[in-house]
Structure 1
Amino acid sequence: MTRASKARDADTETIEALLAGRPIVLVGMMGAGKTTVGRRLAQRLGRRFIDSDEEIESAAGMSIEDLFKAHGEPEFRAGEARVVSRLLREPGVVLGTGGGAFMNAETRAEIARQAVSIWLKADLDVLFARVSRRSNRPLLKTANPRETLKGLMDTRYPVYAEADVTVLSREVSQDQVAADVVAALVAHLGAMAAPEREKETAHGG
């Protein structure tokens, strides 16, 4: 086994021990890489990856775009909140959420109680280049999609910043971003566990 493989195994063991089965939830804008990074992260940690948008489409029997057209955004968001709440009860998963899911205050509170959240943060140029490759983004079907995207970022980024961990999604391989997520998780979970270890030591003494 190479030194890098040993380090990965040690990181995985650390993360899984400290999470004790809690979900890892990826939040961020459309195009941030939640699905591609999430799949690589899950593979690396030996977890199952779930995409909340795919679960919504499966339950509804139609695409996100068609759901928006048929029912409007408010009803879609209510259904999204119910699906995310259900998926948070799945043990040992990496959950990729839609861009608007974390904007729901009840969903944020539930994620905070039951999971560890990671914001994949990307700048406007990176996001717009990625989302421009696909035409199935209902929120961007406007006269000026770049300006619409910027407006969404201005609204959502202060809320995304409430996530437990922030990792920069940039134009590198998604494996590298997944590795950055692992390193950030190890640091965050270790820092959260340190006070508990100190209390146990003090109690034992």
Structure 2
Amino acid sequence: RSSDKIREFAKAFKIRRLSLGLTQTQVGQALSATEGPAYSQSAICRFEKLDITPKSAQKIKPVLERWMAEAEARHRSGMQNLTEFIGSEPSKKRKRRTSFTPQALEILNGHFEKNTHPSEVVRVWFCNKRQALKNTIKRLKQHEPGTAVSMEPLTDPLDDLYTYKHNIYIYIYIYVYTYTVHFKIIFGYFCLRALKATV
């Protein structure tokens, strides 16, 4: 049957291609240059997997037979002839692969389990966070290396007001419950000075 012949040829074609050290891309590029774009890498892949219609297989089979015979003949005469026949496969510049630490992967997997599709809000937040961090680092770099950073704790004005009121209550209490008139006058004088110093 024709289907059995196609199946046997597809299997044999793949074996012969691999024995020549050729990729599907190389075969597709060579055939596309001579036979047209219909014989691309994807067409070769579908043929070897028999993922095409019987009519298409019958059409592509004689083209592949003729091309493979010439490729094997050039291989026997020298590898350089085969290279000239098929052309060179363009090298693809691979992107640098991103690597994560185990701790980062654990966090990422945890978030992925909760939500596999981050919303636009999350992406915008990350963008804003990166920009804010970048601006902070830029401001820190602008400071002179010898500039000392003040480590004094910040005081709350409400705390000062509370201390001021507390001192008034103490002064009034001592003044009221002191029985000596002269002591009251002297003590009152020092209280006023102390309160003015506090303010």
Same fold (TM over 0.5): no
Q: TM-score under structure 1 normalisation?
A: 0.21
Whichever structure has more helix as a proportion of its residues is 2
- Between structure 1 and structure 2, the one with the greater Rg is 2
Whichever structure has more strand as a proportion of its residues is 1
Higher relative contact order (CA 8 A, sep 6+): 1
